[in-house]
Chain A
């Protein structure tokens, strides 16, 4: 009984503090993710206030948070959208993977870490934060812009790629070696393709099983199904997150729309717990030594994201200012990088990975949205105009057809 009381006090105080922090962040136009991470760092191991009684509770809450983050992501896209987008934007997605995953892997080798850690760090630097970026685009009134579909399609491909990447990483971190990892990847490919085909062909029937009218039944039905599938997927070593993502994709139409509305508050709650949990499991004392490497990695991979956006936008005939807008908008890393790092922390592959990932995400998620505003300033626009009109670049014949 006594433990439960302390748990209530700890969790209550924590959530209340997070609420106040989030409100403060919104006033400065800051995403709540870095604030939650910092809050997590401040509490727990080596922090100011230890959370002893509630640690187990927070850990379970965190894994539900990951599942909810992914099912909501899946709900946002329909299977048809994913497949159609894949056809159109596959080269951009490939470029994105090459430009952003490789520097992460190279960096891990440079630090003298093993190949498992390199695989993890590649994922951390690869995936942009779709949540943060969608918010930034909306805030800056850029949803109608012609480069916005380019940004979104890169994000969609990254998210879809996670359905293959996460099982691979989960298996590799479980210690089955590269061969076992590839086997998990094979299972994931088959599963994802099967789910996509079923969702496109029979999406309406699946959604008809869950009525959109009864709000309570809808909440319990979708949430329960998601947890169940995620658990089964984890048991099969395909990663719980991917199971949840696939459930989200399989549900479509009005059910998906209502489920999004119902699950949003739950997602906000448990995702906050997840970010705090990640911060909790990092000792603040480990942060200073990795700060400089994290900064270097952030600068490099933010520049490679700018290049990704630039070339992806050029492919579809967007002019220079739009290309830069696309590139700068893609910079923030967020929830996914933390999800990936979380997998690594749980397996204990490299102790410096968690503090590095924390610092890395903090840097990109805070500076990214600020830098994304750059193209809206007049001095930046006139700078671009001068830069474009100055020397005729050597690659002119390629772009002249536009």
Chain B
């Protein structure tokens, strides 16, 4: 289920714009985007919801990293929803076995899409998520592959990754 959240946009004349939203837990978080490209992550006070408790300046890289982490975990959540919605298509998390022939090999080498029609949409490693890995992505032991496809296709990919297919 995708929950719609209302993000409020407030212009700050001469400075930039502020976006904020109230979470279901009742906290308010916001982002102040300055016109010169600077952006601050702001957290609001519980006692005085008009004032911000902390204002954290983020560099371009930091903002991108944060957006990636949030976006990837969000995507996994949405995929879980997709599994229920589109019949016949499912999402599976496949752990790469330690003895897999693809450990330290490229994702492209699996030829997963050609052979099974399955898309690898993300790889989880050490609690971090790598969204939409390209063919140059190199697997490591204990990676968890998030794949979308038919039952048959996903089973095929599981077999390929385990090295059972050939």
> Which residues of chain A have a CB within 8 Å of any CB of chain B?
76-77, 81-82, 84-85, 130, 134, 141-149, 152-153, 155-156, 257, 318-319, 321-322, 325, 381
Instruction: Find the residue from B15, B20, B30, B42 having the highest chain A CB count within 10 A.
Output: B15
Partner-binding segment picked from B45-53, B92-100, B102-110: B45-53
* Cβ-defined contact, A149 with B48, below 8 A: no
* Cβ-defined contact, B32 with A143, below 8 A: yes
B26 within 8 A of A: no
B20 contact set on A, CB distance < 8 A = 144
Supply 11 further A-B pairs (C-beta < 8 A) apart from A149-B10, A152-B15, A155-B13: A85-B13, A144-B18, A144-B32, A145-B52, A152-B12, A152-B14, A155-B14, A156-B14, A318-B50, A319-B49, A322-B50
Shortest beta-carbon distance from B54 to chain A in Å: 8
B48 contact set on A, CB distance < 8 A = 319, 321-322, 381
- Chain A interface main SS type: helix
Interface string of B83-122 (1 = CB under 8 A from A): 0000000000000000000000000000000000000000
Tally B residues with Cβ within 8 Å of A: 22
* Cβ-defined contact, B15 with A143, below 8 A: yes
* Cβ-defined contact, A142 with B13, below 8 A: no
* Cβ-defined contact, B55 with A141, below 8 A: yes
* Cβ-defined contact, B36 with A257, below 8 A: yes
Select one of A130, A134, A141, A257 contacting B52, CB under 8 A.
A141
* Cβ-defined contact, B36 with A76, below 8 A: no
A156 contact set on B, CB distance < 8 A = 13-14
B11 within 8 A of A: yes
B151 within 8 A of A: no
Of all chain B residues, the one with the shortest Cβ separation from A322 is: B50
A149 contact set on B, CB distance < 8 A = 10-13, 18
Shortest beta-carbon distance from A186 to chain B in Å: 27
Q: 26 A-B residue contacts at CB 8 Å?
A: A81-B11, A81-B13, A85-B11, A141-B52, A143-B15, A143-B32, A144-B18, A144-B32, A144-B40, A145-B51, A145-B52, A146-B49, A147-B50, A147-B51, A148-B12, A149-B11, A149-B12, A155-B14, A156-B13, A318-B50, A319-B48, A321-B48, A321-B51, A322-B50, A322-B51, A381-B48
Select one of B11, B14, B52 contacting A144, CB under 8 A.
B52
B35 within 8 A of A: yes
Separation of A130 and B13 alpha carbons in the complex (Å): 11
* Cβ-defined contact, B51 with A325, below 8 A: yes
Of all chain B residues, the one with the shortest Cβ separation from A145 is: B51
Select one of B13, B32, B54 contacting A153, CB under 8 A.
B13
**Which A-B residue pairs are the 9 nearest by beta carbons?**
A144-B42, A322-B50, A76-B14, A146-B50, A141-B55, A144-B52, A156-B13, A144-B32, A152-B13
B32 contact set on A, CB distance < 8 A = 143-144
B12 contact set on A, CB distance < 8 A = 143, 148-149, 152
B14 contact set on A, CB distance < 8 A = 76-77, 130, 134, 152, 155-156
* Cβ-defined contact, B49 with A144, below 8 A: no
Separation of A142 and B53 alpha carbons in the complex (Å): 9
Shortest beta-carbon distance from A147 to chain B in Å: 6
Within 8 A of A (CB), among B1-39: 10-15, 18, 20, 30, 32, 35-36
Separation of A20 and B48 alpha carbons in the complex (Å): 40
Interface string of B136-159 (1 = CB under 8 A from A): 000000000000000000000000
Separation of A381 and B51 alpha carbons in the complex (Å): 12
Instruction: Find the residue from A142, A146, A156, A325 having the highest chain B CB count within 10 A.
Output: A146
Select one of B15, B18, B35, B55 contacting A257, CB under 8 A.
B35
* Cβ-defined contact, A144 with B50, below 8 A: no
* Cβ-defined contact, B15 with A142, below 8 A: no
